[in-house]
Each structure stands twice: as C-alpha cells, then as structure tokens.
Amino acid sequence: MKIIATAASAEQGKALLEVGVDMLYVGEDAFGLRLPTSFSRAEIETMVEIAHSQNKKVVVAVNALMHNDRIEKVVSYLQFLEKCRVDAITVGDPGVIHLLKKHNLNIPFIYDAQTIVTSAKQINFWAKRGATGAVLARELTYEELEAIGAQTTVPLEILVYGATCIHQSLRPLASNYLQYTNQDVSPSKKRGLYITEKNDPDSRYSIYEDINGTHIFASYDVNLLTQLDKVMEANLHHWKLDGLFTKGDDFVQIARLFVEAKNALLEKRWSADYMQQLNEKLHEYHPKDRPLDEGFFVKDPTEIE
C-alpha cells in the first residue's frame, strides 16, 4: 500500500513526507498536467534529495499532450530527470515512451493516458512494453475497478482524494469568453473561476487556463476515505491525493488522515466508527466551497449516462 501526494512546494513536500506519505508527485507545467505548482529543475532536484534521504520516492509528471513543440524539447528534460534520479515518471504519449527507449534512458514509467485507461488489457499491453504501473481513469465504477485489479500485472493508481478534470482543450476557452464579455479577469488557477449549468444554479465547475490550455473540473471533488476497505480489496494499492485546490497545511493534514486510515487497515484496526471520525476531520480541512462525493466509485455501471 502506497500513498502518493502532489506537492506545491519543497516545504509542503517535506511536511507530507513527515506525516507518512510514501511518494511525492511533482513536475513542470511544460511537460505535466494540472500540477499545484510548476517546479523548476532545481526544485525537482531538491525534492528528490529530500525524499531519498528519507527512503521515500518522487514521481514526475510527463503526461502532457505532446504537440510537436513539446516532443522536440522532452528528451533534454528526460535526460535531466534521469540524472537527478527520479524514481518514476507518468507518461501517456507513446512518443515519449519511444524516446525513452531510443535514447536508452533508465527511468521507470507509469502509464497515464488520463480518461482512456479503462481496461486491464490496455494496462497489460503497456506493462509488457515496460510500464511499471498505471494511473486509472477517474470515470470507473467499483465493479469495473475490481475487474481490472484482478487481471493486471502492475500496481494501479486510483484517485482517493482531490479534483477530477472532466475536460481539457488546448484552446483558451476561458480567455475567449472573458474577452467576448469585456471582462478584465485573469483565467489563471489562482483566480478561482467556475462555470454553472443553466438548469442547475448550484453546480460549480472549476475552470482555469495555463500553458496546456483550458481545464474544467467536476463540481464535486473525490473523497474515497469511506471506501478505502473496498479500494484495498479491489487490489488498488497506490492511492493518489491531489492537492490542486486544497492548499498548504490543510492538504498535509488530509494526507495524514489517509496515512492513518492506511495503517488502520493494514493493522486490522479499521472500523465504521474510526472511519467516520477520520472522515469528519477530513471535511474540516477540505475547502468549504468545494463539495465532496465518491465520484464514479459508487455508481451502478448500468445507470451511467
């Protein structure tokens, strides 16, 4: 059982390791998607040194949509990552995997093609070609996840806490709208913009732009703390915590709760009462303007539209 968490800074990364997180997830916006902070190369080196000094690991995001301009620059970035001894990278573009092999770069890669990682056969296909793990799509039900977990040969990562991206486009959709409506507003992540459905005024889909285009998120963030026993039973042993919209120490404290939950499950101390206690604490640290639910995990596969 491993817990992997995004880090927004070296300081937060240190704090996450101190509360028991096993792996830190960082990267640079030019090559990675939807990161809390774009780390410089020097910051990545520092993070790797800190993690390795505690026998922990660092995974770097190289899962961007690689247009020609990016793919031409990615080799030097991969060479840097190999030199500073990152433990793995996440990759979704077969072109990047090809370049890893072509240039004999010794970096383990985790297959991460976002929404299309939905079957055991696809995961095993990439495992046979060197993948050491896979990041599962967010739109999978428990029944689907259980079936995949029973048939795959590499560790599987599942989002157990954080925001879910439901749309990405390289086009500057938010900027275009703001310009059309004569609004002098930044579409950056810090601005906290959201869109609402016409027939559902309570819906709030977070939206922002960065170098990778426009990103739109589900109106509910994922929280699977109450489902962790089923997650473990489904052979899903890498638990991802995404702090994109949960800042500072609040995210560290939420990570601590998941570490406590993991330890309780492994030590056979898990109970409904203890789970409820942890879940109540989680809601105290989670941003009040961002509702939580279990996402697709609890849905009936036959009822999904």
pLDDT tens profile 112-152: 998 889 999 999 999 999 999 999 999 999 999 999 999 99
Fold category of 2-164+219-303 in CATH: TIM Barrel (3.20.20)
Contacts of 83 (CB under 8 A, 6+ apart): none
pTM score of the predicted model: 0.95
Name the band, by pLDDT with cuts 50, 70 and 90, for residue 247. very high
Q: What is the pLDDT of residue 305?
A: 62
pLDDT (average), residues 251-269:
97
Contact assessment for residue 50 and residue 14, using Cβ atoms and an 8 Å cutoff: yes
Q: What is the pLDDT of residue 10?
A: 95
Residue-averaged pLDDT of the chain: 94
Q: What is the pLDDT of residues 72-114, one digit of tens each?
A: 999 999 999 999 999 999 999 999 999 999 999 999 999 999 8
Q: Domain residues of the chain, as ranges?
A: 2-164+219-303, 165-217
Name the band, by pLDDT with cuts 50, 70 and 90, for residue 176. confident
pLDDT (average), residues 41-53:
97
